[in-house]
């Protein structure tokens, strides 16, 4: 299988990020939708990283993963990814709502 281009990674990352939002907005999720939400959040963050985006996108990817775990009441994973998002923000002077 040929390697993906940065543009392809970015396109996949965006698509998955948006899909995670759709799943987070559901009032109730099936076990399959929960699995999809978790995997899509991690995959989105991976693809953003592989496309060499600005650090703000990496911070937002980690934030979204944290939010997914928070919604699912998995505090250890939520805190780990929230901390990672904070570290990325602080290391790259990212402020505004990303830091909040």
Give per-residue pLDDT as tens, 20-66.
999 999 999 999 999 999 999 999 999 988 887 688 889 999 999 99
- pLDDT at residue number 76: 98
CA 45 to chain centroid, in Å, comes to 5
Q: What is the pTM of this model?
A: 0.90
Mean pLDDT value across the chain = 92
User: What pLDDT, on a 0 to 100 scale, did the predictor assign at position 65?
Assistant: 98
What does the DSSP assignment read for 53-78? --HHHHHHHHHHHHHHHHHTT-HHHH
Q: pLDDT-based confidence at 86, cuts 50/70/90?
A: very high
């Amino acid at each position: 299988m040929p390697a993906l281009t940065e543009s392809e990674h970015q396109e996949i990352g965006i698509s998955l990020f948006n899909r995670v939002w759709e799943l987070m907005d559901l009032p109730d999720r099936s076990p399959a939708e929960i699995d999809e939400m978790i995997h899509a959040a991690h995959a989105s963050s991976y693809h953003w990283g592989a496309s060499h985006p600005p650090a703000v996108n990496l911070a937002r990817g980690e934030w979204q993963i944290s939010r997914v775990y928070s919604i699912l009441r998995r505090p250890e994973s939520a805190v780990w990814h929230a901390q990672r998002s904070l570290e990325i923000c602080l290391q790259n002077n990212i402020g505004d709502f990303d830091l909040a």
